[in-house]
Structure 1
Amino acid sequence: MRPAVRPADVEAREPRTIGASEPVNDGYPGALLAHLDVSVVVPTWRRPDLLRTCLDALVRQDFEPSRYEIVVCDDGPDDATRATVDAFAAEHRPRGVALRYVAVTATQGPAGARNAGWRAARAPLIAFTDDDTQPAADWLRAGVAALDRADAAAGRIVVPLDEQPTDYELDASGLAHAEFATANAFVRRTLLVQTGGFDERFTAAWREDSDLQFTLLRAGAEVVRADDALVVHPVRPARWGVSLAQQKKSRYDALLFRKHPQLYRQRISSGPPLLYYAILCAALWGLVALLFDRVDVALGALAVWLVLTAGFCVRRLRGTRRSVAHVAEMAWTSLWIPFLSIFWRLNGAVRYRVWFL
């Protein structure tokens, strides 16, 4: 195993040697228990029906029930979620499966909820999944086996799609190709202690898993694939025009780039979204031309903007549903996405003080 090094963004934390499975006196409330091999951490936020399906798969794992626990971290504590966890805990306690509910009130977002979960966990290995996944019966066994040869592992995610998915569904299916996603990940607890776990500035479900992956790599950890550890991650229904609101996530790209510029360019994006900037420049060109009463130039700029925007829309429609409602959604949102994406990228650049275009 490579020696641990101090990550650039955790200077205030003393580095610790990456261990195999030794107990950790780290001051967190989860005192390790000798009979537990792994703790499954599940962040959730006010969707008990989805959580119920996930828990049903977790309590039926092909793994000795007394050797694992399930820690549900509720980032928006509510009675329905707690009742769901309590009901599963009571039903499966006789089999030896331990379910615990952790109310998370001092954080915001899945990164903070996962931190609360692994800190309260009582096993030396931590398995992460989401409340809207359906882990296979041998998921836990395969993931734990992968940690026999590494410090962290990324399992396989299957995203079922219709023959003609929407643009949103197709975009969400990219999770199946992610290098490391916390919908299906396994990490040694000692390594989470060493690095501090998730950066809670990622308050949305976006890039917090890549940040953890890059932090682990820079800490000298060995991160492997565990393709036998499988979860199914259905795409949840989304409202019309959801892609506009999603552009706000672009500011977290700036934070990830600030922390890990080289890894970001290697594994996320090698450069800025040039098409978006071209569309913005065409629009600005036209506006400036109108200010100077150059109608001919403004019309030329409008033509360029229309061609670029239409091409962007056609690209998004490729391989997706062709219903009237979906085509209308793609046409409308394609008009605004380039501007919103650039706005939030620049917002992130200013907020996190990094040159990020």
Structure 2
Amino acid sequence: MTPASREAPAGVSYSVVVPTVGRPSLGALLEALLKSLAAAPGPGPREILVVDDRPAPGTPLPLPGAAGPGLRVLRSGGRGPAAARNVGWRAATGEWTVFLDDDVVPSDRWAADLAADLAGLPADVGGSQGRVTVPLPPGRRPTDWERNTAGLESAAWITADMAYRRDALTATGGFDERFPRAFREDADLALRVQDAGCRLVRGERRTVHPVRPAGPWASVRAQAGNRDDALMARLHGRDWRTRAREHRGRFGRHVATTAAGLLALAALPARRPAAFGAAAAWAALTAEFAAARIRPGPRTPDEIARMLVTSVVIPPVAVAHRLRGELAHRGAGPWSPCPVVLFDRDDTLIHDVPYNGDPARVEPVPGARAALDRLRRHGVRVGVVSNQSGVAKGRITAADVGRVNARVERLLGPIDVWEFCPHDDADGCACRKPHPGLIERAAARLGVHPSDCVVVGDIGGDMQAAAAAGARGILVPTGRTRPEEVGAAREVAPDLAAAVDLVLSGARPGRPR
């Protein structure tokens, strides 16, 4: 069945996640995506989540003027594309999460073909990959960088356009955030999803991946990916390339080239015969590498000069990165999401102002920003779970709570998940602390079990909610904390900094602190 003849079924529940560092290409992607969605029959995505992974807010993102209410911007704090995608899918509400890179352009039929790709897939299918096209310049041979980009057309399970079931992401913990670059994190997830018993398939939807401009040292900088290859081998065994449908690469030759060069340098001062043999081997290997890169290219003087220089530099740089990766990941085990710390809001992160609906009255408690930033630097996700009975009492509205929460986030940095209970005691809900509902909802949205969460609060109700959910509780007493609540708490910290110490040290009751 050709793409043009396929019917786009209704009822496919999906969300779109686009991690970005603010590149101008994001605007072209979103415009093409919205155009495709407008032309498609049936419902669109639950939401489009753009995850801004810049360490700090910069120039405004190039968002379409008429993006609609379904487009939201989240922040992931500059922790890399794996962490940004995790922030996105954990906030998504669709059965499927479709990941798009911020430099691709979906076709006009992309949305309709996506719905057809996903509709009716068997339950054992955990992911569906789109088809990527890399346009190369007409009238000349492609450069080395352009050929590298064109390799995306045949790459398996790349997140330039990849949809995963939420259940598959939850079961595996999502992307392994130890991969800091846009490299290998997609192959790692694909292998783990398949190890969990899910199949991955290719769909018929199409996206275009233009070749980004690159400087003369782009191929040298790309050698940092050898560190990620070391992690892949540690996690998936030496045959990971075969399983991930990756070509073998040239690393073995880079090792030989580097060894020959080092031997020549070591033996040259003594003018030993081995020096000349090693130098000849180095020259031959380097020449072969340069020729393999020059031969299929445009062979312009600039390209030839660039290939000659970088072919000398790449082998030792690649080996150095691999050694760094082997050392850094020598004890690496299976990926497990970092713990989640869920904070009470009032009198824990900000001073309590009863029934406050005015963002101007928000004042963080001392040390709150430093404590949250320290957790973020360690890759720990943070959330807020808060009772807001003022909504049920008519003293404030849910919109007021949202505005106050937005002010808290501006002062204290990005919060991965917000959950609040708008009910009063008499409503008999399951979410108002000391019930576990808020914690369970926050954990579900972040794709973790409540037992992976730490709850930090200032009253006994916070600790009771943690216990009811199976989470760990740390009490940080304030002036309103009753002595019997302090006595009943399993863990007590004098302030937020000490509570973070307990979280990061892994200390538990019964251990010295």
TM-score normalized by the length of structure 1: 0.81
**1:41 match:** 17
* 1:117 and 2:49 matched: no
Query: CA contact under 8 A between 1:43 and 1:73: conserved in structure 2?
Result: yes
Aligned residues: 310
* Runs of 4+ off more than 6 Å: none
**1:72 match:** 50
**Percent identity at matched positions?**
38
**2:312 match:** 335
Query: Once the 2 structures are TM-superposed, how far is the Cα of residue 81 of structure 1 from its aligned partner?
Result: 3.7
- Cα distance, 1:283–1:182 mapped onto 2, change above 3 Å: same
Residue type of the alignment partner of 1:215: R
**1:56 match:** 31
Q: Tell me which moved more, 249-258 or 57-66.
A: 57-66
Which segments of 5 or more consecutive residues in structure 1 lack a partner in the other structure? 1-34
Residue type of the alignment partner of 2:144: D
* 1:349 and 2:321 matched: no
SS in 1 for 2:131: strand
- Cα displacement string for residues 46-99 of structure 1 (whole angstroms, at most 9, x for unaligned residues): 21x2111000111112435753121100001535444x33x44xx143xxx621
Query: Once the 2 structures are TM-superposed, how far is the Cα of residue 270 of structure 1 from its aligned partner?
Result: 5.2
- Cα distance, 1:158–1:270 mapped onto 2, change above 3 Å: closer
> Radius of gyration: which is bigger?
2
Q: Distance in 2 between matches of 1:319 and 1:293?
A: 38
Q: Aligned ranges for residues 210-229 of structure 1 at < 5 Å?
A: 210-226=187-203, 228-229=204-205
- Cα displacement string for residues 243-281 of structure 1 (whole angstroms, at most 9, x for unaligned residues): 111111110011111111165142335587221122122
Query: CA contact under 8 A between 1:198 and 1:208: conserved in structure 2?
Result: yes
Q: Aligned ranges for residues 100-139 of structure 1 at < 5 Å?
A: 100-105=72-77, 107-139=78-110
Q: Aligned ranges for residues 1-357 of structure 1 at < 5 Å?
A: 37-47=13-23, 49-61=24-36, 62-64=39-41, 66-68=43-45, 69-76=47-54, 78=57, 80-82=59-61, 84-85=62-63, 87-88=64-65, 91-93=66-68, 98-105=70-77, 107-147=78-118, 148-149=120-121, 150-162=125-137, 163-226=140-203, 228-261=204-237, 264-266=240-242, 267-268=245-246, 273-294=251-272, 296-353=273-330
**What's the Cα RMSD here?**
2.1
Query: Once the 2 structures are TM-superposed, how far is the Cα of residue 143 of structure 1 from its aligned partner?
Result: 2.8
- Cα displacement string for residues 174-223 of structure 1 (whole angstroms, at most 9, x for unaligned residues): 11110110001011112111111101111111101101111110111111
Residue type of the alignment partner of 1:57: A
SS in 2 for 1:40: strand
TM-score normalized by the length of structure 2: 0.57
Q: Distance in 1 between matches of 2:238 and 2:282?
A: 33
Structure in which a larger fraction of residues adopt helix? 1
Which segments of 5 or more consecutive residues in structure 2 lack a partner in the other structure? 1-10, 333-513
SS in 2 for 1:186: strand
- Cα distance, 1:36–1:104 mapped onto 2, change above 3 Å: farther
Residue type of the alignment partner of 2:71: L
SS in 1 for 2:164: strand
Query: Once the 2 structures are TM-superposed, how far is the Cα of residue 291 of structure 1 from its aligned partner?
Result: 4.5
Q: Tell me which moved more, 60-69 or 211-220.
A: 60-69
Query: CA contact under 8 A between 1:36 and 1:122: conserved in structure 2?
Result: no
Q: Distance in 2 between matches of 1:43 and 1:256?
A: 22
Residue type of the alignment partner of 1:71: L
Residue type of the alignment partner of 1:247: Q
Query: Once the 2 structures are TM-superposed, how far is the Cα of residue 238 of structure 1 from its aligned partner?
Result: 0.5
Query: CA contact under 8 A between 1:66 and 1:98: conserved in structure 2?
Result: no
Query: Once the 2 structures are TM-superposed, how far is the Cα of residue 140 of structure 1 from its aligned partner?
Result: 2.9
- Cα distance, 1:259–1:269 mapped onto 2, change above 3 Å: farther
Query: Once the 2 structures are TM-superposed, how far is the Cα of residue 41 of structure 1 from its aligned partner?
Result: 0.5
Q: Distance in 2 between matches of 1:271 and 1:160?
A: 23
Residue type of the alignment partner of 1:118: W
